[in-house]
Structure formats: structure tokens, C-alpha cells
Structure 1
Amino acid sequence: MASPIGSQGSFAITTNSNGSSIHVSIAESASVKADNLSLSTWGASFVLANRLHKIHQDPCHPEATVRNGPRSERWVLELGAGTGLVGLSAAALWRAHVTLTDLPSILPGLQANISLNEGLLKHNGGSARCGSLDWSNPQSLELSSGAESPKRTTKPEVSKPEVILAADIIYSDSHPELVSKTILTWLAPGPQSRAVLCYPLRMAYIDHIREFWELMEGGGLECTQEGREKGDDDWNEVANTPYEWCVWHWKAEK
């Protein structure tokens, strides 16, 4: 659940197996809300952000590394970004261009956190922008260009990300279908593409997670890596609630 930093602080995000880290600055706001939830960082986001340095070391697809290729060809999409901790961490760690998406009411807080981390992203060679993506109609992504600039729209027919990230976005009976449809619409084809998710295994949502897995598999994806991590009491989850992470690729053609 909610973050332990208060209204503003920073999270130490691991960058390599030696335990080095960067600090991602995050501001949270009770006045920025969506679905009756205030803008706050969730435990699954922290868990996923701290696994990002391992994602490019994929034993199932060793050729698949986020760092490959010209930077202009690499972009990452985050769904339900919230405060943006996962996407901002990915931009810094992978030197990638990341588009962080959420509901329109969340974008002011998300843009504020992008601005807070401009120095970090520039130093590490990454960049970030935000926009809104309607999961019920995921055929267009409306990019935010600032209060005085016209909004721009991009579509999956034009460009698709090789990586989609999402943390703690399956918590209602409609989410399995909406999230899986959005991932299947936007994830680029090919063996290097992957969707990476993390969520707490709350008992109330176990059936939703099972349905999500079935829809992903039915859509042509397969989970090639998964694991669980112990929850931290600082995040106010129910005692001993573990976090599950999973990495999905397109099924190989037979």
C-alpha cells in the first residue's frame, strides 16, 4: 500500500549486483486523486524498481537487452505509473526514453516528479514524458506537453515499446481484461519485447490475477520468469503479504 516517505522524499534504487544505488526523488500529494486514491507510491513499485537492473540479464532471451540498439529506437511504456517511481528508475538505469501513463487527473503529479528528476535523468542519459492511456480503448495514447502546449496523440500502429512496465494495477474485476488488452495492443512484436509486472498477492485479488494470467497466455504471451519477495511492514500491507513479479514474452512460433 502507501509509501513511507510522507509528502516528499527519495527512494534508493539498486543499480547493480554490487548494491550501488541511485536516489529517485518523489513528491506525493493528497490533492491529486484518481479512483478515490491519492497520489502515493505503492510497495509493488518499489519492489519492481529495485529489480530493473536485473531485467536486461534475461536467461531465457540472452540477446534481449534494453541497452541494445540506438537510443532513439528504445522506448519503454509504464501503465498506471502513479508517482512514476518505476518509469523514472527505468529511464535512469536503462538510459531509455520512458513514457509514463496514468489517468488524466494524475498527470500533474506525475509531471512534477519528472521535473524533480530532470538532473538525474540527464546525468544518466535517460528521458521521460507522461500521458494518459484509456485501458478500455487503448488505441491511442495522449501525450502531455505542458499546460500551454497542445496535446499530441500517438498510436500503436506508429510505434510500439519493447518494454511495458506495470506495478500494482490489478485490483478490480475489470482490470484483468483491461490490462491484458492494453499490453497486447501496445507491446512490440519480436523476441526482445517483454512486459514486466509486480503486484502484492492480496487474497481479495488472487482470482483477478489468475484471470489476468489466462488472458495473457490466451493472447500469445508466456511468462518466462517469475518470483516472489517478502513484503515490508513500512508499506502498510497486511502482515506477510508477498509481492510477485513476472516477465512476459511473446510465445515462440513453432
Structure 2
Amino acid sequence: MDLNGKKEVDFTVPLSPSTTATVKILVPAIRSQGLNLLPWASTYVLAGLLHRLDIQPPPPSDDSEVPILELGAGIGLVGLVASMLWNQRAVLTDLADIVPGLTANIEANAVLLKQHQGSASAGALDWNEPDRLVLDGGRVLEAGSSKANVIIAADTIYDEDHPKMLVGTISRWLARGPQARLVITYPLRVAYLEQIRELWELLEGVGLVAVGEGKEEAEEIGGASWDDEKLCEWSVWKWKDSEVNMEG
């Protein structure tokens, strides 16, 4: 998104057909893996889509560390919305140099999160070392003992190595319960269609099945244009045990 030099942007997203929330996003002037850390079309699409999906996370246990896990969170918009929508804690993760920006966006929306019975924290999760999540503050969570009932990821396929890395991380952190869900969204960039096909094959290969899918086009916000492909594809996944129907 072209922000015309602005350092923050407000996103108004639906939490229900009749309720919206305006999330303030601070945009850090950093780059990660060669990309500017900006709002991308698929992030906005997924944030606006979540309330339409028939996802009902189970109540987290008292010792649950990551009820909702966002991978490749970037600016953290989707994780913040998920926390407010499902009234559960979300852990927003990315590479270590991005975590301070995620923490800043959590703090900027602290009042909003509280109003909607949500909470969030940030942490570093490197897909090259997917078993270890380091929370902001230094506490370490291990995939062997901490599981997420919902994993969300937007625009996480922009390198030929990403499908294998992403699926390896998902398979370690997604809880095995019947209500566990993965929600993933990506822009339909021509250059990465092969990687998207590989992603689906790998997800199916670890025992996940798609229970809903569709396409959405990102709307312009306040006259600002997206610096990316606006048409995005989304899908919802569960472990192969019973089929359910999803509406999008």
C-alpha cells in the first residue's frame, strides 16, 4: 500500500455483519527479506474475512500459551482482529527484527483489545527453526508442549522455499483437535503460482484437508492504492477426520 509517507494507518474491519473495529497500525520504516514492511492486500482481505468463516475455537485451557497463532505477522493486523473476534489471546510472530514493530501495534491497540475481550503478544518464530518461539521479553515456548487451536497466515508465500518452511511450522504448532483450523491467504501473483500449488500439496501431505476456499479482491482504503496484486485466494484447513462445510 502506498502510504504517501504516513507512518500510521487506520483499518476499519468487520467483527460481525453489524460491528466494526478500527485498528491503528504503526508502519515501521524497516525492510525484512528485501521487502518493505507495509500493509499488503492479502492482510486486509484476511482481516475482513475472518468474521464470515464458521470457525469456533474451543475455550483455551488455563495454561494455553498460544490459542491463536499468526505466522509471518508483519504489521500484526490479522492477529489483532482474530483476538477481538474470538475473544482469545493471539500470539503475533515473525522474524526477530520485526517483533518490536508488532509489540508497538499491540500497545497502540491495547484499549481496543480490552474492549473486545482480546489480548495479544508478539514473538520471534523463525521457520528455519520452527520448534522454538521466543516471546517478546525472552520467554521461550516449544512446539512440543504448546499448540494453537487456530493458525492464521497472510501473504507468506513469496519465495520458492516458503511452502516447505511454512508447512513444517504449521504441522508443528497446530493442535490436533477436531476444532483446530488453519486459515491462509495469499495474493495470486503469477510469479508464485507454482509455489501456491506446492503449498496445497504439502498441506495435504501432512494430513490437512481444505474445508473452505474462495477469492477476494482487496478494496482501496481512503484513496490509497495497493502496491500488489489485489486478487487474493483464501482457504481454511483442518486435520483429516471429518468433513465440514464452510461459507465464505
Q: Give your verdict on TM over 0.5.
A: yes
Instruction: State the AA in 1 paired with 2:135.
Output: L
Tell me whether 1:247 sits opposite 2:239 in the alignment. no
Instruction: State the AA in 2 paired with 1:209.
Output: I
* Aligned counterpart, 1:62: none
* Aligned counterpart, 1:103: 95
Tell me whether 1:69 sits opposite 2:59 in the alignment. yes
Tell me whether 1:133 sits opposite 2:120 in the alignment. no
Instruction: State the AA in 2 paired with 1:76.
Output: I
Query: For residues 26 and 184 of structure 1, do their structure 2 counterparts lie closer, same or farther at Cα, with a shift above 3 Å needed?
Result: same
* Aligned counterpart, 1:24: 23
| Counterpart pick for 2:47 among 46, 49, 52 | 49
* Aligned counterpart, 2:9: 9
Instruction: State the AA in 1 paired with 2:154.
Output: A
CA contact (8 A) 1:3 1:235 kept: yes
Q: d(CA) in 2 for partners of 1:71 and 1:23? A: 29
CA contact (8 A) 1:184 1:219 kept: yes
CA contact (8 A) 1:142 1:153 kept: yes
Name the SS of the counterpart of 2:16 in structure 1: coil
Show structure 2 runs of 5+ residues with no match.
Answer: 243-248
Shift of 1:71: 6.8
CA contact (8 A) 1:222 1:250 kept: yes
* Aligned counterpart, 1:83: 75
* Aligned counterpart, 1:94: 86
Identity percentage over the alignment?
43
* Aligned counterpart, 2:245: none
Q: d(CA) in 2 for partners of 1:27 and 1:3? A: 14
> Per-residue displacement from partner, 1:16-45 (whole Å, max 9, x unpaired)?
123x21001101022x22112222111111
> Per-residue displacement from partner, 1:109-132 (whole Å, max 9, x unpaired)?
111101000001111111100011
Query: For residues 75 and 3 of structure 1, do their structure 2 counterparts lie closer, same or farther at Cα, with a shift above 3 Å needed?
Result: farther
* Aligned counterpart, 1:226: 213
Q: d(CA) in 1 for partners of 2:82 and 2:2? A: 19
RMSD, matched Cα? 1.8
CA contact (8 A) 1:39 1:109 kept: no
> Per-residue displacement from partner, 1:220-254 (whole Å, max 9, x unpaired)?
0011100001244521324xx4110000000017x
Q: d(CA) in 1 for partners of 2:46 and 2:163? A: 19
What is the TM-score of this pair, normalised by structure 1? 0.88
> Per-residue displacement from partner, 1:157-209 (whole Å, max 9, x unpaired)?
21200000000000110001000110011100021001101110000000000
Q: d(CA) in 2 for partners of 1:70 and 1:214? A: 30
Instruction: State the AA in 2 paired with 1:17.
Output: P
Show structure 1 runs of 5+ residues with no match.
Answer: 59-64, 146-150
Shift of 1:3: 5.5
